[in-house]
Amino acid sequence: MIEPFKVAGKLVQAGESRTIDVPMARLYTHTEITMPVVVIHGKKNGPRLFICASIHGDEINGVEIIRRVLENVSTKQLSGTLLAVPIVNVFGFITHSRYLPDRRDLNRSFPGSLTGSLAARLAHLFMREIVLQCNYGIDLHTAASPRTNLPQIRTTPGDEEMLRIADAFAAPVTVLAKAPGGSLRREAIKRGVKVLLYEAGESAHFNSTAIETGFNGILRVMHHLGMVKGIRTRGRHDPLHSSRSAWIRARQSGILHLKVQPGDWIQKGQQLGIISDPLGEEIKMIKAPWRGLVIGQIKEPLVYRGDAVLHLASIDESAQKRTLDTQQNAPT
């Protein structure tokens, strides 16, 4: 007998799919703001997985990813429970803002507080109603404006189970890195809920590759966890693992001209671009500090000294050779 699943005091019976509007707060106009949650509660026992997006309100790729997942998962085929939250930061989503009205970053406000700031209260609500009811989670993000990211998974070093789940997701790159303090991933893991973070594309824009990779990755994770069977996916990669990544920063202010983009392999000492003043009198070259893969870049050409312009991940040399051989021998 499968027990009903409860969110915000509402029960979802086994074999039922239900949308629940979780009360978050009221505007000063007396209008109530709610967070929509779709609960798909299977008839068979299995893991409890949450997928969420728009913790930063201007990061919208994950919203479309979750919409596509919900189109392809039903109670008939599901073992366990799926909680889908396409818009966590409803305030920021409405105003096209990364932040909440109190100017706080929700992904630095976990685990939150019942009596704290607006961000703290929302973080506490999300932890209580969604995260702590699950065994696993996938948190969907894009790069912060004005940057863009190659599709990538971030997971905790040393956690072999999470690495296997990350490999099942099969994004092009898996970055092994600890989550920052106050983030959903870090605070969930501390409480025994294993969470992957997916980064892909840029804020405020749909990116078809980022969406397709994320959609297929979630279905593959659900298959790996035994939640679904017989779902076909596309675009599977043999994920590359990176335990070191860093941003290359501008050495002077000026106009940026990059010669590489996310997904490009680069060699140590390779010229990646230049920064010049508007008159072309002062020019500085940007060179690669080590061999690796470009996993992110700034999108705007006007930069100040110290701005992060390229995100470079160090990749095992044998893995790079296998990837390059695959690309060179691929059919045209």
The answer on 203 and 171 residing in a single domain is yes
Task: Please say if the pLDDT value at position 51 is more than 90.
Answer: yes
> Cβ neighbours of residue 295 under 8 Å, at least 6 residues apart?
149, 150, 152, 173, 175, 242, 245, 262, 311, 312, 313
Residue in 28, 181, 215, 31 with CA at minimum distance from that of residue 110 = 181
Report the CATH number that the domain containing residue 275 is assigned in CATH: 2.40.50.100
Model pLDDT, residue 319 = 52
- Stretch (H or E) spanning 197: strand 194-202
The answer on 140 and 77 residing in a single domain is yes
The answer on 94 and 59 residing in a single domain is yes
Model pLDDT, residue 236 = 80
Average pLDDT over residues 246-266: 96
- The Cβ of residue 255 has, within 10 Å, a number of other Cβ atoms equal to 14
DSSP β-ladder status, 173-176 and 240-242? parallel
Range of the domain at 309: 245-329
Place of tokens 């505007």: 27
Q: Rounded to an integer, what distance in angstroms lies between the CA atom of residue 218 and that of residue 65?
A: 9
Q: What is the pLDDT of residues 186-218, one digit of tens each?
A: 999 999 999 999 999 999 999 999 999 999 999
Task: Please say if the pLDDT value at position 320 is more than 80.
Answer: no
Q: What is the pLDDT of residues 158-184, one digit of tens each?
A: 999 999 999 999 999 999 999 999 999
Q: What is the CA radius of gyration of the chain?
A: 21
pTM equals 0.93
Mean pLDDT of the chain: 93
The answer on 253 and 209 residing in a single domain is no
Model pLDDT, residue 317 = 58
Which DSSP category does 86 fall into?
S
The answer on 227 and 266 residing in a single domain is no
The answer on 159 and 61 residing in a single domain is yes
Which DSSP category does 5 fall into?
E
Confidence of residue 255 (pLDDT cuts 50, 70, 90): very high
Report the CATH number that the domain containing residue 154 is assigned in CATH: 3.40.630.10
The answer on 80 and 199 residing in a single domain is yes
Model pLDDT, residue 329 = 37
Average pLDDT over residues 240-252: 95
Confidence of residue 330 (pLDDT cuts 50, 70, 90): very low
Q: Rounded to an integer, what distance in angstroms lies between the CA atom of residue 328 and that of residue 323?
A: 9
* Residues listed for the chain: 332
The answer on 187 and 272 residing in a single domain is no
The answer on 325 and 201 residing in a single domain is no
Model pLDDT, residue 280 = 85
Q: Rounded to an integer, what distance in angstroms lies between the CA atom of residue 119 and that of residue 108?
A: 9
Average pLDDT over residues 60-81: 96
- The Cβ of residue 244 has, within 10 Å, a number of other Cβ atoms equal to 13
Of 222, 240, 258, which residue constitutes the final position of a domain?
Answer: 240
Confidence of residue 22 (pLDDT cuts 50, 70, 90): very high
Place of tokens 């366990």: 80
Model pLDDT, residue 234 = 81
Here the tokens at position 315 are 């990749």
Residue in 60, 35, 71, 195 with CA at minimum distance from that of residue 131 = 195
Helix 160-169 × helix 208-224 angle, to 10° = 130
> Cβ neighbours of residue 161 under 8 Å, at least 6 residues apart?
194
Of 192, 223, 240, which residue constitutes the final position of a domain?
Answer: 240
Residue in 194, 229, 217 with CA at minimum distance from that of residue 69 = 217
Task: Please say if the pLDDT value at position 322 is more than 90.
Answer: no
DSSP β-ladder status, 302-303 and 254-258? antiparallel
Model pLDDT, residue 324 = 41
The answer on 94 and 151 residing in a single domain is yes
Confidence of residue 110 (pLDDT cuts 50, 70, 90): very high
Residue 304: what are its φ and ψ, rounded to 5°? -100, 155
Of 209, 240, 271, which residue constitutes the final position of a domain?
Answer: 240
Amino acid at 268: K
Confidence of residue 332 (pLDDT cuts 50, 70, 90): very low
The answer on 193 and 70 residing in a single domain is yes
- Number of domains the chain is built from: 2
Of residues 323 and 68, more confidence is placed in 68
Amino acid at 77: Q
The answer on 62 and 92 residing in a single domain is yes
